[in-house]
Structure 1
Amino acid sequence: MAHQIAHHRTIEGAGPQFGDPRRSWPESIRHALALMGIDQLYNHQAEAADYVRAGRHVVVATPTASGKTLTYNLPVMERCLADPEAKALYLFPLKALAQDQLKGFNELAALLPLGVGDDNRPTAAIYDGDTTPHFRKKIRNTPPNVIMSNPEMVHLSMLPHHASWAEFLSGLTHIVVDEVHTYRGVMGGHMAMVFRRLQRLCRYYGADPTFVFCSATIGNPAQLCTMLTGLDVHPILASGAARGGRHMVFLNPDGSPSQAAIQLLQAALSRGLRTIVYCQSRKMTELISMWATERSGQFKGKISAYRAGFLPEERREIETRMADGDLLAVISTSALELGIDIGGLDVCIMVGYPGSIMATLQRGGRVGRSQRDSAVALIAQEDALDQYFMRNPDDFFARPPESAMLNPHNPVIMDRHLVCAATELTLRRGETFLREEEVGLRVDQLVALGQLYEVEPDLAGHPSEVVSHRKRPHRDVDLRGAGKQLHIEDNSSGRDKALVIGTIDEHRAFREAHPGAVYLHRGQTYVVTDLDLGGGAVHVQRNRVGYYTKPRGNKDTEILEVLGQKASFGTRVYFGRVKVTEQITGYEKRAVRGGKLLGIVPLDLPPLVFETESIWFEVGHDIRRRCEEEFMHFMGGIHAFEHAAIGMLPLLVMTDRNDLGGISTPMHPQVEGPAVFIYDGMPGGAGLTRQAFEKADELVETTLRTIESCPCELGCPSCVHSPKCGSGNRPIDKRAAQFVLEAIRSGDPKSIEPKDIDVNMLPGIDMKKPAPNRYGVIDIETRYSADEVGGWNRADRMGVSIACVYDSDDDAMHDYEQDQIDELVAHLKQFDLVIGFNHVKFDYAVLGGLHPFNFRGLSNLDLLMEVNNRLGYRLKLDNIASATLNVGKSADGLQALKWWQEGRLDLITEYCQQDVAVTRDVYLYGREHGHVLFTNKAGQKVKLPIDW
């Protein structure tokens, strides 16, 4: 295997560097540290303590195993000793991290020499999905000093039920956010809103907590924390912790990377070295685990897979066995990249470059924790980025860690959280939460779109308020995905006995869980039988098959808004919002061994449509003409340009190519020419292409260098092929891609002038539509009640006492009795629009029992249906009229029935005409103002935006 080593480098270890905080610790804490064998803190720990104790927000971004836990445990314990009512919230992205931290917190607290028993010691408890209802209630009612939880519990329990947490929130002095670098992309967008909502409720209860963030080594820790919270955060970047020496080995295998990983794993096992193997996907994790187990003989029971999607109890069992030494090797996705305690490890094997310098260092940091020498092996796949570093290893060691990006104001994500915030506590104009321009503007837009509702100011002159009609919107928000989660259900024993074996994001389900897809779980293969989007489930059956599946499809994009444009060498590059339509048309079956294509199966699935952020390069017609004159395949060239650029973008932005999508087209109607799009592969965007836009020149140069330096002749996965291309990497022309990029690179930026692009904007606030030339407003009163005819479903038997119609043409009321229905029908046919309140479902059902005319075939506007569609529930006309017009009904339907029995048709007609007039005036008010008013259950007058 030695000839396959592309590079070997030894990274020397370093001794510790100590420091003292400016203010000494209380005697009790000094005593506890002494019992732990700690005479001095590392200098980064001391610096962090100074800032936290001064109430300053801080982020500690140092390598794995550098003692970040003490940077927050010590100041929090000191505060709790001084003020037993002080509270702290520790947030961890994984439950297993909270278990580790609780153990460490309690061990430190137990060493405090209080001398009065344990009653005054700082207390801590875990509050997560595994906490029983009994202990959840106990924690809420009598909160400990420290609650250790996760983002989901804050979102689903603490924020919506904040009144039950008033004691805890009012005493909150510290919020600790561990592994903050994981809060990027989609989850970062969610967490940006969760933290803002949490700060809002803290202010409501009079608290102003200090944030302590802990992170892996990234390029922009302070900027990331500011994007997440809107706060100024001090970064601490230099670690004073000791570290052992490390051997870094870059391996470019002759054959399969997975087989090379298994060989290395077997060699490590035979030498008693505890090993972790990182894979790029759930599928590869399962495959390597399965293959390694088959070939490892006596070590067969000492190997396990570990990935997201496993049930909590499965993950906990694997973590415990690894920490206890019962397992010698674990094959994992990035799920074990974080600081979960699984004991000391000796060897880290990475099957494929993880996508960022940061992730590589973080994964490698899991080994050698006892300051012994350790080994990290990076096994290259055919991916362009892997091969780039095999050819340019010095570039890897010279590059600084990437910056973590998120879009804190992703509208798809922000909308859901604003509805949650309005449910938690009425939004008020001018409050701190709405002072961010993007947040305040989006609230106005949601009010205009009818997803939030503005309360009319009261006579006392209080600021106007914005409320939600939703009672419990929080469960509709999945913090780890842009869409809802689907359960993967094993129906092997029959659908009535389905067993949930995992979860998948709805957005990914179209590509990975379509009917016929092969799904791997803990070494077992399952075949998807049904994708039930409505029911939120993917139905699978266990089946041993010798193939895996890969989706095929096509994509289209529409530019919605241009947010920036500039020259990149000899072309224009844009950044903006786009709408992507992806149609999965079928899937490939490929043999597990060798990857041979076994067939293509067509699929009939609905299109996946979402809006996101994108950059796109305009490729000039002159470049196209010159490329074609050289007899090169231009479409294949820009397609190869797209693939290579996506493959190299993780060099510039902390992302994985699977988080990105691309479309190349020889003629885009809005660009008016050829274009290459690269977009964030999740609804709303995650800030990835926003950062790429700033580095467009570097992206062009790196992409060109990658294509030029690849030794292949026609193109390969190391340069221009994509493993997830929906068209099977056809057409692809490496030589044409190089030609196009060289033409762009040699162009003169000064010759590029700004250009306007015709875009289709989203609906704005002004939603008025042209008024109809002639409209009528109808209402009817019946002769019999529902009880008299056998129920509301027999409205056709109720008969008509009077039907009243307002005609806008003569501005007059017209009355029709039951024997005049023919005349009524003739009148209704003359209108451009017939307006009523519940007239489509009820009035027309009554009239349908008296006349064969298709009343629903008229052009109708039913105000009740419109209101119901906006609110999700029905309102009475009297409610809307009273709030909007300050008028009410003179009677009701029961009184009208009584009048019929008494022969008082005159009173019925007067009442019916008044209802018609009120309905007309509500319609006219709404058409003029773009909203009507109603009174909600809290007695508030609320604006309801309408589109009449």
Structure 2
Amino acid sequence: MLFPIEKLYTHQHDSIAELMNDRNVILTTSTSSGKSLVYQVTALWKILEDIDSTILYIAPTKALAQDQVRSMNEFLNKIKNLSQTIYKLKKLSVSTYDGDTTQEQRKLISNWTDNHIQIIFTNPDMIHTAMLPNHQKWGSFLQKLKLVVIDELHIYNSLFGTHVSFLFRRLKRLLNFYNKNTDLSYNEKRNTTVWLGCSATLKNPMEAFRQLTGNDMSTTTLVCNDGSPNGLKHIILENPDLENFNKRDIIGTTARILVELMKRDIKTIAFCHVRRLCEILIKEVKKLIQKDSDFEQWDYLLNEVVSYRGGYSAADRRKIERELFHGGVKCCISTNALELGIDIGSLDCVVMCGFPLTLGNFQQQSGRSGRNVQESMTVLVCGDSPVDQYYFKNKEELISDDSNMFQELVVDMENILVLGDHLQCAAFELPLSIENDYMYFEKDINYSIWEDTIKTKLQFNGADHKIDLFLNNTYTCSEKYLPWPSGYVSLRGVQEEMFAVVDVTNNRNIVIEEIESSRTSFTLYDGAIFIHQGISFLVKEFNSKEHYAKVVRTDVEYTTAQRDYTDVDPLEIEVVKPINNTDLPIFFGNLETTIKVFGFLKIDRWGKVIDAIETYNPPFTYKSKGFWIDLPERCLSYLESRNLNKAASIHATQHCLISCLPKYIITGFNEIKTECKAPEKEFSKRTTERVRPARILIYDSKGGPTGSGLSSKAFENINDILKTCLNKVETCECANGCPSCGLSLPNCSELNMVLSKNGCRIILEVLLGASEEKMKKVLTEIPMESPEENGSLIETIRVINGTVKYSPHLRVLEE
């Protein structure tokens, strides 16, 4: 069956053997080590054992699922062409099942037995919103389910991972239900579903697999003995010189590298942090090709570079994916959408336009090249970000093979908000029993929390049913979650409304993209240059009520950058308590974030502003939960005594708090945010009307008005968090913040440009109750700064005046 594969790698052999012996497997070998073949062989073997068997493959992204469908079909076609000895597989079919699946294909899937669609490639979102709530329609599929594959397991971390952990337990609950309620013929045994988890970057794989799936370690085998050969990998760091306006031309440098690689027929993928950077980079690459003195020789390269990112239509994504998978392009410029284990052909080189979020991301992206044991190269182009410059100076960290550099996968099964939401979904799928269903959660949730959540959140079915006996002493979902509980629960955060981008050039009226409402403030204001696949469009009309923007193609030599501000302000205090046995309070409650675009800049390729335009877009606002600390006047006096920039001091402190949170709560990137300080405002020499309060503020970026529960847990542990922050700041040897002390964050919206490490230290000392004598000593250790050099010439921060209103249900806690 393995022909033309002559033999398996040791890790492939061991994994398949364990799965065929009905044991769960967590496979953690390196990128491009052939993990996909493990599930492919196992899936077909299971189907050969029982022709009615079904397989469920779960990927975190649509692109990865599409790639695996292609790979599975190629493998299946080879098997079908072998001989009649495996005639059972002749009619076998596979299909994706995601948000892009057409209604026609969904009908075929729903009748999977007649159409022999026995292997489904999907994602957690579809299982949550479509499969489990509709389990009656999927009953026969679940009843015959032999293998569940969870690819790129490390993605399911923090809040998203917590949601998915509950989802998998709901799936296991339904699998047991259909297995127990199956009529068996003589000598027929109950169906056994085995689980396979795959990842190349997990710190503690066995515990991660257990937390995520609920499978006991005694039934799980860890396979980490990588038997695959590895080609030589070259890692090159490019740090562009400081040029115009004392900035590094990271876009121009990356574009020049990509063009030279394309000319040398070196197949390359380039990774960018954000969508906009992808579009600017591909536009620059095409411009360099067009301006080449030997353009006639290289003009064909214009059609061999593409960009890939979120926001593209399903049709565009499928078209680009086909080109990628079949070797139709020399260079692809992507966000991390293609970071996961997607085989896009024989890649020779990976180019990173700036350091990715974590070392784990660096390893994932670097692993995209050299997938067929050939020699390969990774090029990291460093920008002005302190994070980029840190890794340029500490290159050795990029080549460490220590698994401790990977982020540990952690989930919080006792997050009451998430637990309550998924119990509503589970009770909708099947009546929930406090005693009988605790078995799926007993290792991760305290029984008292479990019982209390069910009794307070769900609706009791009663205990005196005479006909429907199964309803006795069970619970169903609350009426406010009806008619479809999963519609109220988003696995990845609050579901946003989408805006269509309509190309009206020459009356085309074609939707070229869909953009989340939170992004419209930065991309779809009147007069903005919107870039799609390297082509510039001018935004002619933005209609916030009808949710669309009209754009026309244009040929300009500039890009636009919005002039905006983001204010995060408390609305209502729900809880208050003292900090570290002092008289300084910390508050928790409701907050509102306001994003306002008031104009935009026209910027040439060197970053020079050539014009400033006023515009008007309705402000984008959303509510959340968070905590805040109003800095006392004496704290600001200490900062003033050393001429420290107050905004930079506050910003650095907020960053430091966020960086220390993972030690105390389970949170990932962008799940906890703060109000970042912009250098254009804080370092300006002109007075500003937008003077912000002297306040440390942290809030949940997901979960909507009810929050995600993360900032609440941070509030509970604030004393320990502040002490950890102070220790990191005092012991770190950097000059003004780095990734080690946590003052420089990779996801800072203002690129960590407004930071003061000394100011952060002063604020932390005051918050922890340092005496006047202690503060005098601290101040002597901090040098006097120049306001001209640190940008503190104007007042942008003020002492808090007035109070935030109290909730009618205010709680006052004692330390």
Q: Sort the TM-score into its range (normalised by shorter chain).
A: 0.7 to 0.9
Please say if residues 175 and 210 of structure 1, whose CA atoms lie closer than 8 Å, have aligned partners that are also in contact: yes
| Corresponding position of 1:49 | 16
Matches within 5 A, 1:719-734: 724-725=749-750
Q: Which residue of 1 aligns with 2:565?
A: 552
**Residue deviations 1:790-827, cap 9 Å, x none?**
xxxxxxxxxxxxxxxxxxxxxxxxxxxxxxxxxxxxxx
Structure whose alpha-carbon radius of gyration is higher: 1
Q: Which amino acid aligns with 1:316?
A: R
Residues 153, 463 of structure 1: CA spacing in aligned structure 2 closer, same or farther, 3 A cutoff?
same
Cα deviation, residue 383, structure 1:
1.9
Aligned to 1:791: none
The 8 Å contact of residues 562 and 597 in structure 2, kept in 1 or not, is answered as no
Within the candidate set 366, 390, 393, 2:392 is matched to 390
Letter in 1 for 2:537: T
Q: CA deviation at 1:251?
A: 1.8
Partners in 2 of 1:515 and 1:53 — Cα distance? 60
Does residue 98 in structure 1 map to residue 98 in structure 2?
no
Q: Distance in 1 between matches of 2:640 and 2:136?
A: 69
Aligned partners of 2:578, 2:94: CA distance in 1, in Å? 48
Do the aligned residues in 1 keep the contact of 2:112 with 2:118 (CA within 8 Å)? no
When residues 165 and 723 of structure 1 are mapped into structure 2, their CA distance, relative to the original with a 3 A threshold, is: closer
Amino acid in the other structure paired with 1:243:
N
Does structure 1 residue 337 correspond to structure 2 residue 339?
yes
| C-alpha displacement of 1:282 | 0.4
- Equivalent residue, structure 1, for 2:153: 180
For residue 174 of structure 1, give the secondary structure of its aligned residue in structure 2: strand
8 A Cα contact 1:273 1:347, kept in partner: yes
Tell me whether 1:682 sits opposite 2:666 in the alignment. Answer: no
CA contact (8 A) 1:179 1:214 kept: yes
Deviation at 1:126, TM superposition (A): 0.8
Please tell me the residue identity of whatever aligns with 1:249. I
Separation in structure 2 between the aligned mates of residue 384 and residue 690 of structure 1, nearest angstrom:
29
Unaligned regions of 5+ residues in structure 1, if any?
1-31, 666-672, 752-757, 765-948
Quote the Cα distance in structure 2 between the aligned partners of 1:760 and 1:226: 42
Separation (CA, whole Å) in 2 of partners of 1:438 and 1:513: 47
Q: Is the 8 A contact 1:175 1:211 kept in 2?
A: yes
Match in the other structure for 2:264? 271
Distance 1:153 1:661, change over 3 A: closer
Return the match for 2:235 from 244, 248, 266. 248
State yes or no: 1:75 paired with 2:81.
no
Structure 2: 5+ residue stretches without partners: 180-190, 242-247, 290-294, 678-692, 775-803, 811-815
Contact (CA 8 Å) 2:271, 2:336: kept in 1 or not?
yes
Partner of 2:504: 492
Tell me whether 308-317 or 507-516 shows the greater mean CA deviation. 507-516
Letter in 1 for 2:388: D
Pick the aligned partner of 1:709 from 727, 730, 735: 735
C-alpha separation in 2, matches of 1:661 and 1:502? 27
Q: TM-score, normalised on structure 2?
A: 0.73
Contact 1:100 1:341 in 2 (8 A): no
Inter-partner Cα distance in structure 2 for 1:634 and 1:105: 61
Matches within 5 A, 1:629-644: 629-643=641-655
Residue in structure 1 matched with residue 200 of structure 2 by the alignment: 216
* Alignment deviations for residues 580-624 of structure 1 (CA, whole Å, 9 cap, x no partner): 321223345133321537256565436311136x7x789787765
2:89 & 2:726 partners in 1: Cα distance?
62
Match in the other structure for 2:793: none
User: Offset of 1:489 from its aligned partner?
Assistant: 3.7
**CA spacing shift, 1:212–1:760, aligned 2, 3 Å:** farther
What is the letter of the counterpart of residue 175 of structure 2? C
One-letter identity of the residue aligned with 2:286: T
| Inter-CA distance 435–403: structure 2 relative to 1 (3 Å threshold) | closer
- CA distance in structure 1 between the aligned counterparts of 2:552 and 2:452, rounded to whole angstroms: 50
- The residue identity in structure 2 corresponding to 1:84 is I
Q: Which residue of 1 aligns with 2:321?
A: 319
Cα 1:166–1:362 change in 2 (3 A) is: same
Distance 2:5 2:694 in 1: 66
C-alpha distance in 2 between matches for 1:494 and 1:65: 46
CA distance in 1, matches of 2:398, 2:224: 20
Quote how far apart the aligned CAs of 1:151 are.
Answer: 2.8
Deviates more, 1:196-205 or 1:68-77: 68-77
Alignment match, 1:294:
287
1:520 paired with 2:513, answer no
Counterpart contact for 2:594–2:619, Cα < 8 Å: yes
Alignment of 1:127-146 (within 5 A): 127-128=96-97, 129-130=101-102, 132-139=105-112, 144-146=117-119
Contact 1:562 1:577 in 2 (8 A): yes
Q: 2:164 — aligned with what? A: 191
Separation in 1 of the partners of 2:236 and 2:768? 34
For 2:78 and 2:666, the matched residues in 1 are separated by 36
- What is the aligned counterpart of 2:597 among 570, 574, 586? 586
**What are the equivalent positions in structure 2 for 1:219-238 lying under 5 Å apart?**
219-233=203-217, 234=220, 235-238=222-225
Deviation at 1:152, TM superposition (A): 3.6
Partners of 2:53 and 2:253 lie apart in 1 by: 54
Partner SS, residue 87 of structure 2: coil
Q: Which residue of 2 aligns with 1:425?
A: 430
Contact 1:345-1:369 at 8 Å conserved across structures: yes
Q: Within the alignment, does 1:736 sit opposite 2:759 as a pair?
A: yes
Conserved 8 A contact 1:485-1:503: no
Q: 1:203 aligns with which of 147, 167, 176?
A: 176
Q: Is the 8 A contact 1:457 1:465 kept in 2?
A: no
- Aligned partner letter, 1:173: K
| 1:900-932 Cα distance to aligned partner (Å, 9 max, x none) | xxxxxxxxxxxxxxxxxxxxxxxxxxxxxxxxx
1:793 maps to which residue?
Answer: none
Q: CA deviation at 1:633?
A: 3.9
Native 8 Å contact 1:282 1:333 kept in 2: yes
Q: How far apart are 1:340 and its partner, in Å?
A: 2.3
Equivalence for 1:285: 278
TM-fit CA distance, 1:241: 1.2
Match of 2:130 among 157, 176, 182: 157
- Say yes or no: does 1:598 pair with 2:612: yes
Structure 1 contact 517–527 (Cα < 8 Å) conserved: yes
Root mean square deviation, CA, Å? 4.7
SS of residue in 2 equivalent to 1:225: helix
SS in 2 for 1:457: coil
CA displacement at 1:66 relative to structure 2: 0.6
Q: Which residue of 2 aligns with 1:463?
A: 473
Q: Secondary structure at the match of 2:212?
A: helix
Is contact 1:84–1:145 with CA below 8 Å preserved after alignment? no
Deviation at 1:572, TM superposition (A): 11
Q: Deviations over 1:674-708 (max 9, x none)?
A: 76344453224496997998887675566667794
AA matched with 1:555: V
How far apart, CA to CA, are the structure 2 residues paired with 1:101 and 1:763?
Answer: 57
Q: How does 1:297-446 map to 2 (within 5 A)?
A: 297=295, 298=298, 299-398=301-400, 400-408=405-413, 416-432=421-437, 437=445
User: For residue 539 of structure 1, what is the aligned residue in structure 2?
Assistant: 549
Please give the secondary structure, in 2, of the residue aligned with 1:211. Answer: strand
